[in-house]
Structure 1
Amino acid sequence: MANEQLNALVLPDENGNFGKHGGKIGHPELARALAEIETGFRNIIQDADFISEMKRLQATYVGRPSPIYHARTLSQRGAQIYLKREDLNHTGAHKINHCIGEVLLAKKLGKKKVIAETGAGQHGVALATAAALLGLACEIHMGVVDIAKEHPNVSRMKILGAKIVPVSAGAGTLKEAVDSAFESYMGQLDDSMFAIGSVVGPAPYPEMVAYFQSIVGHEAREQFQTAYGGLPDEVIACVGGGSNALGLFNAFIDDKNVELVGVEPAGEGLDKPGRHAATMTLGKFGNIQGFNCYYLQEADGTPAAVHSIASGLDYPGVGPQHCHLKDSGRARYETATDAECLDAFMALSREEGIIPALESSHAVAYALRRAAQLDSSKRLLVNLSGRGDKDIDFVLEKITV
């Protein structure tokens, strides 16, 4: 996988910018640490031994390639719906793709520990898994609200040997977990590496995570052409920070007849401030946590309160590549409410026997809505970014079965 496989729309300039979005951190100490990571990243992606080891682990440990599945029952609604089954990866989500790369990099840099935030716990589990595999310590910061919602993933992280740091500040969710993790990292710069969980944050994280996730799109494009004799009409993925969406989108950017659709959480309604996380739909440009992007803001520019039924999507900002894709008109961003997400969760479970993550259910919700608007000749490819084991107890509290 060469770096040039990523289209210019999702590659930064020398200052880490994608158009007007992104950028490098201004804090001197952090800037030095992130420069070390960036240099290491650029070296390893040209290192044949690193690429060979990563490919070996992708095939024999992660279980790649993940298949594409034709959801024939769901497709009776209209357009044909296909699922890129990232839920079948080891640890149950796309997060393992970049975690393997990040932990290999940390080890190459001589670090003893990886530190990260997590929302739904999928990044935390994947990072703890990779750290256990490769012999590094792991420290995960997680909001207390998400700890309560995602208890199975918390248990998995503990079993894998990770130190869990509960974060009760503010809303006690993903943004606060990021703040807490960066604060901890500041005290351990020499011996640890911050392993961010999405295409957010200052350079080099958006580019680096996108690189490791690009395998999703390149696999999917080749698989779809081989199996179905052409390309999908739309590729669809949920968007919080945006790693799974960018992972799918990257290989299709030059295919102008393929629409790229990101699906954000409308929560309890776009007309209810603080009760949604529709960053691309209602956010404004500014700087959050060391990078420029669209984010949901209060009048004074501070990040607004956000909400989503899916813990991995309740972030007030979004990756700079997505902002640039929106500005360029190459991608469009839709929304799905909590109620639509739950309906899609149950539809996929009951009609196809696949229990999806609540995050991924947002993309499924849009696909079901869109399929009903199109005829059966149209083909929709959804990135099923994670499985729903972590969500089942929470969902059962919300529905009648």
Structure 2
Amino acid sequence: MVTLVLFIALLATAMGQSVVMTILPALGRETGLSELQVAAILSSSACIFALGSTRWSYYAARVGNRRTLIYGLSGYSLGTLCFASVFSVGLAEWLTGYALFGCLLATRVAQSTIMSATPPAAVGYVIGYVRRQNLHSVATLSRVTSANNLGQILGPGLAGLLVTYGLVAPLYAIIVLTCLALLLVWRKLPDEPQSQPVPPKVTTSADVSASSPVLLLLSFAVVLFICMAMLQQSLGFMLIDYFHHSPVNAAQITGTALMISALAALSVQWTLVQRSNFTLMQLLLIAAAAMTAGYVSVATATEVQFIYIGMVGIGVGVGVGYPSVTAAATQHCSDAERAKVTGLMTASPAMGYTLGPPLGAMLYQSDIHFPLYCCVLLSACLIVINLKIQSAFSTK
């Protein structure tokens, strides 16, 4: 029951995030925002999310993961309501230009400040539960975090279904889902057993030297999500500018592509990651190779079908790579370091989404395909990072 409740909590937030990524380019075009302004909204909120995740991780270690998770879901629901309302005002042209951009940026950043409590609280709860029950950490963590991939399947599908009623309609639907998840956590998730509290000022820090396994694992995750952020930032605009689709059609095709990627990730998490005997290095090599092949397919696509094919490889890479590095990082640290490492690893998606959108937007200004070419190079660099991880573990 515990893993199911946490799964549903992460599922609701993942659906919300994927809905935003699916419809934001189209919403930006309809309200007169530029590519750089859309990127600024994404990267600024992601930066706050990354910083907030590390701080909420310490907070959760002191007051409990359940309470922190409730705060995160509450902030997500209220923040989405504000974000959707501002976009509704913009679509009605009651607010335009820099005033609209400023309000959207402020509401999204405020939302990220509170909703960043959700991932570290959920992962921290799972790690404690795994230790108490003597469960397999990679398999259990993969099972719970696979909610992110299922959310990326269901979210774009929900967006594609509801966008015909208005571009902002999917955002209001997400508020209902996150409120239901909040109610479930409040009623069904038990409090954790009392443990040694973390002091308010933590003097022990995790080993994050240039050659440490933790930093290398974190780097792998951040590069992985930089590529994903650049793809999601650029794909909707590319479908409008290169393939000449309307904003609504572009949102629907983007949603389908993200659904395919998430379905591939979910499939490997429920099969390969949980039931195989591959080593960490083998799993990360599979992830890097699959992502590189996927980005090559998307970058060279002349038809939408080739984009869909590439998204399968990208999904396999994310589904194998992220739970593997997260479990490995939390296993290879002391109890005193665990709060910091958990915060860093759960913040890695936000770190990627801080750097990816502005980089993708700047490259897009030069050439439509430059962001995807950059993704190919970065995903190939994951192979090099994997070799460094192997070397770090062999000497540790």
TM-score, normalized by the shorter chain, greater than 0.5: no
| Higher RCO (CA 8 Å, separation ≥ 6 residues) | 2
Q: Indicate the structure with greater strand content.
A: 1
TM-score normalized by structure 1?
0.28
Q: Indicate the structure with greater helix content.
A: 2
